[in-house]
Amino acid sequence: MRTMRVALLTAAISSAPALAMADQSISGQWRADEGHKVIIVMDVLVDGHWASETVQDGKVVAELAGTHQQTPKDATSGMIVRTPVKSKVTREHGGPTVETDDYTLENDGKTLKLVTQKNKEEMLFQKNIASQ
């Protein structure tokens, strides 16, 4: 799984037309357990690139990689726009789209709350201890 994320991220970096900027506050390896046997792992890099993998019932249903633009409101919140550059998704998951989320860092930066601006769906990601 890690090898696939690295490969996707490498492909995204090499094909991205320009680097988006982000700060270190949201960078790292994140994991969200969405219930119903759905897990999302996401790597967010300081240089503005990200990669994610969604697993449902033990099967990978989406692999995405691209760039992100972060606009902080303050030290623990702001807005992030994720633009997929590479994707591999199942038909049921739907195609990749640009997503704009409001974010909040909680629990001393160990929890990243993303709320989609489109439908106010909330996801809670926990920071991987190895990336702290």
CB atoms within 10 A of CB 17: 6
Enter the pTM of the model.
0.77
Residue 10's domain comprises 2-131
* Overall domain count for the chain: 1
26-40: pLDDT as tens digits: 999 999 999 999 999
Burial letters for 28-55: b for 16+ Cβ neighbours within 10 Å, e otherwise? Answer: bbbebeeeeeeebbbbbbeebbbbbbbb
Q: Bigger pLDDT: 128 or 52?
A: 52
pLDDT given for residue 45 in this prediction = 94
- Tell me the average pLDDT across 20-30: 77
Q: Bigger pLDDT: 6 or 42?
A: 42
Q: What is the CATH number of the domain that holds 91?
A: 2.40.128
Task: Judge whether 96 and 84 are in contact, CB under 8 Å.
Answer: yes
